[in-house]
Chain A
Amino acid sequence: MMAGTDRNETGLETFFESARATAPGPSGDLMARVLADAEAVQAARVKAPARRGPRVRFAQLREAIGGWPAMAGLVSAGLAGLWLGVSPPAALNDLPLAGFGAGESALVGMLPGVELDLLALEEG
């Protein structure tokens, strides 16, 4: 039994050697097709990055400040600041600004052109 198994191993190995020695090689046409595919994929990739540049930069900025939650907080804070500027609540007028100079001049300092125009209209 053992001798038979050894002979089987030896016999099969002869077949395997024959298979290795006669490996079917790729045709020249296949090699040309594979290389053409490679070059086409490379060429397509060279063109692609230009469109993606700005998106990548925005993504990097977003990640740098902490992702979408941080972006939402930033936008909310910006809008709140804008609203306070456009329509300041009455309570802001009661703030003790005397320490920074005259109350009126402090506001004039923020929007000098507008304040002067309003004064001119009142006096005029």
Chain B
Amino acid sequence: MKMPFDAMDDVPDEALLTLFANGDGTAARALTLRMTPRVMAHAYRLLGDRDEAEDVAQEAMMRLWRIAPEWRQGEAKVTTWLYRVVANLCTDRLRRRRGVDLDAVPEPEDDAPGAEQGLLQQARADALQMALGLLPERQRQAVVLRHIEGLSNPEIAEIMEIGVEAVESLTARGKRALSDALASRRAELGFDDGWD
């Protein structure tokens, strides 16, 4: 059965995946549009490199297409599964990188002071990305999922296959490290209120 494309907006991810497995082309497009941006953004935040993030996003989506016929409804959310696959793929890449190129952590752009609001926002995002790159992988993943993706601690615990308390510990340590890393740059990033 074919459904009109805009009718897919209210269809849950898991149902779309079943439709995809049954050969529905509209479901393929809907899942691509719905999932790829999230997968791409998450991979970028874990890797800090746009080209690598695109490769990871394509591979993660390919794994989703392949597993679709075996997907068991009610066992896991598609997004949970995808976040886990992205994290694993990113970990593999970071391991290959480790000790070889410290330059992979992107440098922030230096045009923030006196720039317009949009540029200031971009500068802050870049600075955060650089600071995230300095965190241990698990701390980075937990902080990104909690504070940028906006997931709950139980969801993150499921994705990372750890307990909720461990998630809380990782995010707390991660945020402390981020604060330390960003403290020295507060003036150039528009903070003049004594944040420390």
Chain A residues within 8 Å of B, Cβ to Cβ: 4, 7-16, 18-27, 30-31, 33-35, 37-39, 41-42, 45-46
Q: Are B57 and A11 in contact (CB under 8 A)?
A: no
Q: Are A31 and B33 in contact (CB under 8 A)?
A: yes
A42 CB to closest chain B CB, in angstroms? 5
Q: Are A38 and B28 in contact (CB under 8 A)?
A: yes
Q: Are B20 and A19 in contact (CB under 8 A)?
A: no
Q: Are A26 and B20 in contact (CB under 8 A)?
A: no
Q: Are A42 and B20 in contact (CB under 8 A)?
A: yes
Q: B139 contacts which chain A residues (CB < 8 A)?
A: none
Q: Are A18 and B128 in contact (CB under 8 A)?
A: yes
Q: A10 contacts which chain B residues (CB < 8 A)?
A: 195
Q: Are A7 and B193 in contact (CB under 8 A)?
A: yes
A8–B195 alpha-carbon span in the complex (Å):
6
A112–B83 alpha-carbon span in the complex (Å):
76
Q: Mark B164-184, 1 if CB is under 8 A from A, else 0.
A: 000000000001001100100
10 smallest beta-carbon distances between A and B, as pairs: A18-B124, A38-B28, A11-B195, A41-B65, A15-B128, A26-B40, A22-B125, A18-B125, A23-B41, A18-B121
Query: Which residue from B57, B66, B68 sits with its C-beta under 8 Å from A26?
Result: B57
A19–B54 alpha-carbon span in the complex (Å):
18
The residue of chain B having its C-beta at the shortest distance from the C-beta of A37 within the complex is B62
Query: Which residue from A8, A11, A21, A24 sits with its C-beta under 8 Å from B40?
Result: A24
Q: B122 contacts which chain A residues (CB < 8 A)?
A: 18, 22
Q: Are A37 and B182 in contact (CB under 8 A)?
A: no
A104–B128 alpha-carbon span in the complex (Å):
102
B194 CB within 8 Å of chain A: yes
B110 CB within 8 Å of chain A: no
The residue of chain A having its C-beta at the shortest distance from the C-beta of B176 within the complex is A8
Query: Which residue from B25, B53, B125, B182 sits with its C-beta under 8 Å from A39?
Result: B25
- 11 A-B pairs whose Cβ atoms sit less than 8 Å apart in the complex: A11-B186, A11-B195, A15-B125, A15-B128, A15-B178, A19-B124, A22-B122, A26-B37, A27-B54, A31-B36, A45-B69
Q: B29 contacts which chain A residues (CB < 8 A)?
A: 35, 38
A15–B21 alpha-carbon span in the complex (Å):
40
Q: A31 contacts which chain B residues (CB < 8 A)?
A: 32-33, 36
A67–B186 alpha-carbon span in the complex (Å):
71
Q: Are A26 and B25 in contact (CB under 8 A)?
A: no
B135 CB to closest chain A CB, in angstroms? 13
Query: Which residue from B23, B53, B124 sits with its C-beta under 8 Å from A24?
Result: B53
Q: Are A41 and B58 in contact (CB under 8 A)?
A: no
A20–B128 alpha-carbon span in the complex (Å):
11
Q: A18-B124, A21-B125 are in contact. Are A7 and B58 (CB under 8 A)?
A: no
